[in-house]
Amino acid sequence: MLNISILTIGDEICIGQITNTNVVHISAELTRIGANVLTHSTIGDEKNIMLSEIDRLLKSSDVLILTGGLGPTHDDITKPVLCEYFDDQLIYREQTLENLRKRYSKLNIEMTDRNMRQAQVPSKCISLENSAGAAPGIMFEKDGSYLFSVPGVPGEMRAIMKDHIVPFVKNMIAERNENLVLYKQIMTYGIFESSLADMIGDIDKLFDKGDSLAFLHSFRGVRLRIGVHGESRRDAETKLAVLEQKIQDKVGEYIYGSGEDSIPSAIGKLLTERKQTLAVAESCTAGMLGKEITSVSGSSAYFSGGVLVYSNEIKEKILDVKHDTLVKYGAVSEQTACELAANVRSKFNADYSLSITGVAGPGGGTEDKPVGTVWIGYSDKNETFAKKYFFGGNREINRERSVANALALLYKKLRGK
């Protein structure tokens, strides 16, 4: 099995100033082709720590990928550190310099001496053209292991990964006839992690030794990640298919997709196939439900629109919620949720509608309606109803759970459950 380590360099990541999205992309791309990602390491811009970590990871990995520190400013020290580690020196590569000149000329920017330094690379390395930026990638070989260094800018990192590193690693796996490890995600909704585990049962009886099943919980549902080892890609994919069917047989009623599928995309697919439409009315979620629905490309084909009715006055004026309803039952009630759902469906002439009204918190709760109380309404041509939920005291979690449960409710109805 080909083992990969990833080393991210940058004080800004260590102190929490930015999120390390690069390691997510690199890991996903290499896992997708069957490599085994051993470890992620994040360190600051300090020479001795960098030298020590490069040495440690390179000795334990077939491939080490560094990201960060290749820019033109004084705090970008990756190239000098690599020169020290590999007993090398920086030189100008004419082709790299020419590519840099063309890039700055095209952008109508004068190239300074500082910009030119980005064309400097260690003399012993292989320079990797950067189709998305100025700084080239770097590749070294040492004792049968390989080190790649790529810029920290996400777009540039992705370009070098796609053009150079992924094809190289894929070829290494094939040439060395390495075993593969492949993963697949199965997406579930409307069921707790513990309940899924109980339904699936004893993993040791379903899976071969070395294969794995992980439960990845979020407020939007539980992802089941299957992992298998295989002597070839075909062998691993066959194992994945067999295990996926076993999971399907156990908990199929809660599965809506696989891979990167989402509940909004599954809903969109059903509505598109049926040529039906959806409208929403939101109070405490303040547009989050509409945002999720429209995160899917092509959602304009089935999403008629939504209304944000935060205050009682707007609930009355825009969506015709009865004044008596609000006075007698309150904004957070079964009756208000039903009127919101039915009226927004009528106004948008939609086939289906959802409404959300609740006490998101941290204030506004009462003894009868504590923080976390949410009513989700549903309406179609045959029925209108609302369901009550209680999510707890955290405002953002309440809003996320409200959206997730509204989408799950709609998906169940679309599937006839």
The CATH code of the domain that includes 189 is 3.30.70.2860
Same domain, yes or no: 171 and 26: yes
Same domain, yes or no: 159 and 21: yes
Residue 95: pLDDT band with limits 50, 70, 90 = confident
With a cut of 80, say whether residue 249 has pLDDT above it.
yes
Same domain, yes or no: 23 and 61: yes
177: phi then psi, degrees, rounded to nearest 5: 55, 45
pLDDT tens string 61-74:
999 999 998 777 77
Alpha carbon distance 125, 121 (integer Å)? 7
Residue 154: pLDDT band with limits 50, 70, 90 = very high
Report, as an integer, the average pLDDT of 221-250: 93
Same domain, yes or no: 26 and 149: yes
Q: Peptide bond before 154: cis, by omega within 30 degrees of 0?
A: no
Residue 112: pLDDT band with limits 50, 70, 90 = confident
Residues 6+ apart with CB under 8 A from 90: 79, 80, 83, 120, 121, 122, 123
Report, as an integer, the average pLDDT of 322-331: 97
Alpha carbon distance 202, 404 (integer Å)? 29
With a cut of 80, say whether residue 383 has pLDDT above it.
yes
* Number of folded domains that form the chain: 3
Alpha carbon distance 397, 354 (integer Å)? 19
Alpha carbon distance 380, 204 (integer Å)? 45
Domain end call among 197, 230, 258: 258
Residue with token string 């590193």: 165
Q: Tell me the whole-structure pTM to 2 decimals.
A: 0.76
185: phi then psi, degrees, rounded to nearest 5: -100, 135
Alpha carbon distance 259, 266 (integer Å)? 12
Same domain, yes or no: 141 and 239: no
Number of C-beta neighbours around residue 95 at 10 A: 11
Q: Which residue has the higher pLDDT, 76 or 10?
A: 10
Same domain, yes or no: 159 and 241: no
Q: Which tokens go with 68?
A: 């960060």
With a cut of 90, say whether residue 240 has pLDDT above it.
yes
Same domain, yes or no: 54 and 87: yes
Domain end call among 147, 175, 203: 175
Same domain, yes or no: 39 and 155: yes
pLDDT given for residue 133 in this prediction: 82
pLDDT given for residue 301 in this prediction: 97
Same domain, yes or no: 41 and 124: yes
Report, as an integer, the average pLDDT of 308-322: 97
Alpha carbon distance 321, 125 (integer Å)? 70
Residues 6+ apart with CB under 8 A from 102: none
At residue 276, what is the residue type? Answer: Q
Q: Which of 7-21, 66-80, 259-273 shows the lowest per-residue confidence on average (mean pLDDT)?
A: 66-80
Residue 308: pLDDT band with limits 50, 70, 90 = very high
CATH of the domain at 149: 3.40.980.10
Report, as an integer, the average pLDDT of 91-103: 80
Q: Are strands 303-308 and 221-230 parallel, antiparallel or unpaired?
A: unpaired
Same domain, yes or no: 144 and 204: no
* Phi and psi based region of residue 275 (left: phi greater than 0; alpha: psi -120 to 50; beta: remaining): left
Report the SS3 class of residue 336: helix
pLDDT given for residue 43 in this prediction: 95
Report, as an integer, the average pLDDT of 238-256: 94
Nearest residue to 151 via CA among 89, 86, 47, 65:
65
CATH of the domain at 363: 3.90.950.20
Report, as an integer, the average pLDDT of 409-415: 95
* Phi and psi based region of residue 389 (left: phi greater than 0; alpha: psi -120 to 50; beta: remaining): beta
155: phi then psi, degrees, rounded to nearest 5: -65, -40
Residue 356: pLDDT band with limits 50, 70, 90 = very high
Domain containing residue 47: 3-175
Residue 10: pLDDT band with limits 50, 70, 90 = very high
Domain end call among 204, 239, 258: 258
Report, as an integer, the average pLDDT of 35-62: 96
pLDDT given for residue 69 in this prediction: 83
pLDDT tens string 177-191:
889 899 999 999 989
At residue 19, what is the residue type? Answer: T
Angstrom CA distances, 399 to 56, 305, 371, stand at 44, 19, 11
Report, as an integer, the average pLDDT of 93-100: 78
With a cut of 80, say whether residue 413 has pLDDT above it.
yes
Same domain, yes or no: 128 and 199: no
Same domain, yes or no: 196 and 151: no
